[in-house]
Amino acid sequence: MSAPGRAPPRILAIAGSDSSGGAGIQADIKTITMLGGYAMSAITAITAQNTLGVSAVEALSPDMVAAQIDACLSDIGVDAVKIGMLGSPAIVHLVAARLEGLGVPVIFDPVMVATSGAVLADGETIAAFGRLMALATLTTPNLPELSALSGMEVRDEPSLAEAAGHVMRTFSAPAVLAKGGHWPGGGMPAPDGARQRPDDVVIDCLYALSPEGGRSERAFRHERIDTRHTHGTGCTLSSAIATLMGGGAGLEEAVAGARAFVRRALLAAPGFGAGHGPMGHHALR
């Protein structure tokens, strides 16, 4: 959070709108605000959705997305950027062009599929993601997204590291946070089918290029929270990392702090909806 008397970090969220408020730009704005940042937005698409799924998606024009970004950068300025759902290949390339050389932390959540299972990025859009991964400070795929980006099956921790390394080499991505919540029960299966991790543990693995040219690795482990109210976890995590880095935190510190924020929001879920319900951002004041 920003210290008393200091200006809040200016965070630009570039993402789609979730009409039910649990994910997308709505989750970004709640997260940034709760963490003491100043939230700005460039909306890329409008969705009609709730906890049961996405019923309609309409992408905005690239020109309108560009106008929103330019309006924010030219006047307010920015200390960090979070990128979520983009909607079309043209918007991907437009966003990349606007952010190249900006010189602030950029956190890219490569949104492909909603929590409900709705597809939010087609193959052409996913193919364009490489340009963003190269300029982003951190890319935050979940396991299905990591498999899609790497073209590799992720079965266990060695294949997780291999897939992340492949993404980093192929797309010149400086850092990847592989989110492990999609493993059955949160544990990671060993190649022989045995459990390497207990079912009640969730593991996220951060891989980052070191100044010496090697690759560092850090695993973040926490007990699994048994809840169906997980709508917007990826959006919340990435915008929290952006806010903390915009306020001056280093990469590992920001990831740790953002994970703690997500856990608190999961525990504070209000219980809304009949499907994958929203988290409790409102309770973290």
Supply the pLDDT for residue 119. Answer: 60
Q: How many residues does the chain have?
A: 285
Q: What is the pLDDT along the chain (285 residues), one digit of tens a residue?
A: 555 668 999 999 999 999 999 999 999 999 999 999 999 999 999 999 999 999 999 999 999 999 999 999 999 999 999 999 998 899 999 999 999 999 999 999 998 866 655 566 677 877 789 999 999 999 999 998 998 899 898 888 888 889 999 999 999 999 999 998 766 544 444 444 444 444 578 889 999 998 777 889 999 988 888 899 999 999 999 999 999 999 999 999 999 999 999 999 999 999 999 999 999 998 877
CATH number of the domain encompassing residue 77: 3.40.1190.20
Supply the pLDDT for residue 194. Answer: 42
Supply the pLDDT for residue 115. Answer: 60
Catalytic residue (choose from 47, 115, 137, 233)? 233
Supply the pLDDT for residue 284. Answer: 78
What is the domain extent for residue 181? 10-280
Q: What is the pTM of this model?
A: 0.91
How many separate domains does the chain show?
1
For the chain, give the longest Cα–Cα distance.
Answer: 56
Catalytic residue (choose from 31, 230, 236, 243)? 230
Supply the pLDDT for residue 195. Answer: 44
Give yes or no: 232 in active site: yes
Give yes or no: 235 in active site: yes
Q: How many CB atoms lie within 10 A of CB 130?
A: 16
Catalytic residue (choose from 87, 234, 247, 277)? 234
Q: How many CB atoms lie within 10 A of CB 143?
A: 18
Supply the pLDDT for residue 192. Answer: 43
Give yes or no: 30 in active site: no
Catalytic residue (choose from 179, 205, 236, 280)? 179
Give yes or no: 236 in active site: no
Residue 54 lies in a domain: yes
Residue 86 lies in a domain: yes
Supply the pLDDT for residue 118. Answer: 59
Residue 285 lies in a domain: no
Give yes or no: 186 in active site: no
Concatenate the DSSP letters of all residues of the chain into one string: -PPTTSPPPEEEEEEEEETTSSSHHHHHHHHHHHTT-EEEEEEEEEEEEETTEEEEEEEPPHHHHHHHHHHHHHHT--SEEEE----SHHHHHHHHHHHTT--S-EEE----B-TTS-B-S-HHHHHHHHHHHHH-SEE--BHHHHHHHHTS---SHHHHHHHHHHHHHHHT-SEEEEB-TTSGGG--B-TTS-BSS-TTEEEEEEEEE-TTSSEEEEEEEEEPP--S--BTHHHHHHHHHHHHHHTT--HHHHHHHHHHHHHHHHHT----SSSS-B--GGGG-
Residue 4 lies in a domain: no
Residue 3 lies in a domain: no
Supply the pLDDT for residue 211. Answer: 74
Specify burial of residue 284 (Cβ count, 10 A radius: 0-12, 13-18, 19+).
Answer: middle
Give yes or no: 37 in active site: no
Catalytic residue (choose from 72, 235, 236, 246)? 235
